[in-house]
Copies of this chain bind each other. A is one copy, B any other.
Amino acid sequence: MGIAHKMAKKQREISIAEFFEKNKQILGFDSLTKAMVVSVKEAVDNSLDACEEARILPDIFVKIESVGKDEYRITVEDNGPGIVRKNIPLVFGKLLYGSRFHAIRQSRGQQGIGISAVVLYGQLTTGKPARIISKIREEEVAYEIILSIDTKKNAPRVIKESPIIWNRDEGTHVEVTIRGRYTRGKQSVLEYLQQTAIVNPHAQITFIEPDGRKIIFKRATDTLPQPTREIKPHPYGIELGQLVNMVRSTRTYRLTSFLTTEFSRVSPKIAEEICKKAYLYGDMRPQELTIHEAKRLMEAFSKVKLMAPPTDCLSPIGENLIKKGLKNVLGSLRPGFYAKPITREPKVYGGNPFIVEVGLVYGGELPKDQPVRILRFANRVPLLYQQGACVITKAISSVDWRRYGLEQRGGEGIPVGPAIILVHVASTRVPFTSEAKEAIADVPEIREEIELALKSLGRQLKMFMIKKERKNKLSEKFFLVTKLLPEIARKSAEIVEKPIPPLEPVISKIMNVVWIDEDMEKIGKDEVKIKVNVTNFIPKELKFTLYGDYPVGSLLETDGSPGEDYVKWDVKIKPLERKVFYFRLGDAGGYTETNYYVDGINPSVVVGAEPLPGDWNIRLETMEEILEEEENEEEEVVEDIEEMEDVGDE
């Protein structure tokens, strides 16, 4: 027998279950500690998805028990809608079976692999089958099913199936025994649940550790996230092969109606336009499109202006939860600066809408001499492993952070400094690098969005640093002018035996600023009183508006006009006059500093507040210019003083 025939004898089909049995690392089971986290994660992600889809506030119970050396039983139970009896074996005992694969909508599970992979891993490492109990509202009883997976066939093998009485109206209970290792600390089940609880504050999670300790992550809000609506694919970025599949299976009879019904954001008018640009008749049957015509259609897609995809298929974390997530990670450490989280506009890659959100804290008590800490989330799920493989890390590494004041060797790589960066990518289809869903692939569109968002944070950071530097510099000048100048004048006057000249005009001439700063006073445990000092060092009366921001919902009292997240004061102030305003905040434990904004005044003469409103780019440029000017002016101050001394000499 020839070699080709010999080789042919060995060629055969491989079942997907066999494939993963031999490549369990692809599912994330490459070490015992990781296997534990992955198993809990897949079950909890499923529970959250099911509850949210059924619009039920999730109540999730997680228990890990030690049942032998390196052997643990993991139980996850939820109050979700349950699974109909005949589908239970398939959901848990067949890889590549699920409900969310074909839906274009943000959800945690998408692949139809996760939970059945856990069952597979359990049986591979402990030989034990999985136990599932599920009850749906319509039925009187629950069903208990004990099953394993026939890996050669990738099919469930039901060992026992029986109706049982269960004290729940609806819900699902999964028990899998796996080989694993339980740890606390970094990259642990605890960290996963903690971060999950933060970005899913509508869920209550009860966790019982192997030693019996019970940890409850309490529900922080009774409001479910907005339901994510299933959408049609968006024409931008769709692949030709996808389009071909779509025209093959469409039930529409006209190309134009194919375009309007099977795509999002294509109106009849736009459909006509697309057909025209593709040199195709709008009333042709879509099924008759040739490859060449499909290609022309694709090209026409890129030539028409389409609205961005609808965003109600996505569920961003939002500014408040991002801040809260960062605060939680900080623990008792106080940062110097919270950047305002950025939520970018939704974009599209390969027909899939996605949104990028980022947050940053900097300075204060954060460790200085370490790479910045990175928190990654995808569709509200924390990503704990494979940081190096993730587009988030790649985007962070490719931004030149030196421009924004962080240390970074050669302007690339993870920057070093006292900072934490949080990035969330939400999409109807997160392009994970593998079935383990640990890292997001380096898709150029996503990378670009993350980079833009990060640069926006970077500008805020730089702004903070410039402001700090400016304030420090001006503080020196302030000290020089208001403390030393009178002293020099007195001394000079004494020497030349003349009266001390009036200094106020000189001082305000030199300073020529409005000075704004604040004094913060802690009252009790969580309350702060903030006094806002405004001094006019400009030799004329001024009228302008001053704004101070604060966290939504924390304002207790003020002498200004309160807005949703700011206080407004109308300021009228004479030369060398000093005015004091105030506001009081409750629940302000982590409050560090107010941002002040001014309107109705040339912002370059104001110290301690920024122009309102404006985008960060312009503001940053303005601030950089001001800083530069001031540096030039420093010499002038010296000249001014010398000049004054000359006056004294006369």
- 13 A-B residue pairs with Cβ-Cβ distance under 8 Å, sorted by A, are A2-B81, A2-B137, A4-B54, A8-B83, A11-B97, A14-B112, A19-B96, A25-B431, A31-B442, A123-B241, A125-B241, A369-B410, A388-B389
Q: Which residues of chain B are near A76, meaning CB under 8 Å? A: none
Q: Is A127 in the interface zone, CB < 8 Å from B?
A: yes
Q: Which of A433-441, A473-481, A530-538, A573-581 contacts B (4 or more CB under 8 A)?
A: A433-441
B8-A241 in contact (CB<8A): no
**CA–CA, A5 and B413, complex, Å:** 49
What does the 1/0 interface line of A262-303 toward B look like (CB < 8 Å)?
000000000000000000000000000001001100000000
How many residues on chain A are close to B (CB under 8 Å)?
90
Q: Which residues of chain B are near A443, meaning CB under 8 Å? A: 25, 30-31
Closest beta carbon of chain B to A73's beta carbon, Å: 15
> Which 5 A-B pairs rank lowest in CB-CB distance, beginning with the nearest?
A388-B388, A389-B389, A124-B241, A434-B434, A25-B441
**CA–CA, A22 and B435, complex, Å:** 12
A295-B127 in contact (CB<8A): yes
**CA–CA, A87 and B21, complex, Å:** 25
A239-B81 in contact (CB<8A): no
**CA–CA, A614 and B210, complex, Å:** 49
With both beta carbons as reference points, the residue of chain B lying nearest to A8 in the complex is identified as B84
Q: Which residues of chain B are near A433, meaning CB under 8 Å? A: 25-26, 386, 389, 433-434, 436
Closest beta carbon of chain B to A237's beta carbon, Å: 12
B370-A441 in contact (CB<8A): no
Closest beta carbon of chain B to A20's beta carbon, Å: 11
What does the 1/0 interface line of A209-236 toward B look like (CB < 8 Å)?
0000000000000000000000000000
Given known A-B contacts A5-B136, A136-B4, A413 and B241 have beta carbons under 8 A apart: no
**CA–CA, A25 and B239, complex, Å:** 13
Give this chain's copy count: 2
New A-B contacts (4) at CB < 8 Å, excluding given A4-B83, A11-B90: A12-B97, A31-B442, A124-B240, A409-B416
Interface residues of A (CB under 8 A from B): 2-5, 7-8, 10-16, 18-19, 21-23, 25-26, 30-31, 50, 53-54, 81-84, 86-87, 90-91, 94, 96-103, 111-112, 123-128, 136-138, 151, 170, 179, 239-242, 244-245, 291, 294-295, 369-371, 386-389, 393-394, 409-410, 413, 416, 429, 431-436, 439, 441-444
With both beta carbons as reference points, the residue of chain B lying nearest to A240 in the complex is identified as B127
A294-B127 in contact (CB<8A): yes
Q: Which residues of chain B are near A435, meaning CB under 8 Å? A: 26, 434
**CA–CA, A179 and B125, complex, Å:** 42
Q: Which residues of chain B are near A126, meaning CB under 8 Å? A: 240
**CA–CA, A86 and B9, complex, Å:** 11
Q: Which residues of chain B are near A97, meaning CB under 8 Å? A: 11-14
Given known A-B contacts A23-B431, A54-B3, A99 and B444 have beta carbons under 8 A apart: no
**CA–CA, A82 and B53, complex, Å:** 52
**CA–CA, A30 and B489, complex, Å:** 72
